[in-house]
Structure 1
Amino acid sequence: MSAAGFLKRVAQVLEDRGAAYGDPKTQMEAIARRWSITLGTPVSAQQVALCMIDLKLARLAHDPNYADGPIDVIGYAALIPEIIRGPRS
């Protein structure tokens, strides 16, 4: 798959996940609130995205051939600007 094709696939996954789970900023903020309680320290929505990237990278280190791993890493990275400033119209 070409780089452009790969990025189109990432965009489709983001669209599908948005339809399934709702606004990414809202979801990451909800996860951050839960993790803050669990960890006993404040966690931001941006940190949630970064931790999810780290989780995906750790899994890829174990199985670098897992096809969805790079899609997920790039997808979470692509969400960070949206989480910080909200979606653009």
Structure 2
Amino acid sequence: MTSWSILGHTAKVLEERRDDYGDPAEQFGEIAKRWSITLGTPITPAQVALCMIDLKLARLAYDPGHVDSVVDVIGYAALLREVR
């Protein structure tokens, strides 16, 4: 995939996920609440996005060619501003 085609594909995936799961800010807020309980410390929606990016980067270290993980990193990075 070229850089432009992967960006276009990521935009499509973001639209699909918004249709499936609703507003990302609300969704990441709900995840942050759950992780705050699990971890016993306040977690923000932005931290959720950063942790998901980190998860995908760890997977990419194992398989740098895995396109879905690249798309996910781009998508979470794009959402970071939206969930702040």
Unaligned runs of 5+ in 2: none
TM-score normalised to the size of structure 2? 0.96
For residues 20-48 of structure 1, the C-alpha deviation after alignment (integer angstroms, 9 at most, x for no partner) is 01000000000000000000000000000
Match of 1:81 in 2: 81
Identity %: 60
Distance between the aligned counterparts of 1:81 and 1:66, measured in 2? Answer: 25
Superposition RMSD in Å: 0.7
In structure 2, the residue matched to 1:43 is 43
Q: Hey, what's the Cα distance between the residues in 2 that align with 1:8 and 1:65? A: 18
- Number of equivalenced pairs: 84
1:65 is matched with which residue?
A: 65
Query: Once superposed, which parts of structure 1, at least 4 consecutive aligned residues long, lie more than 2 Å away?
Result: none
AA paired with 1:37? I
Measure, in 2, the Cα distance between the counterparts of 1:49 and 1:5: 23
**Residue ranges of structure 1 left out of the alignment (5+ in a row):** 85-89
Structure 1 residue 75, shift from structure 2 partner = 0.2
Partner of 1:55: 55
Aligned to 1:87: none
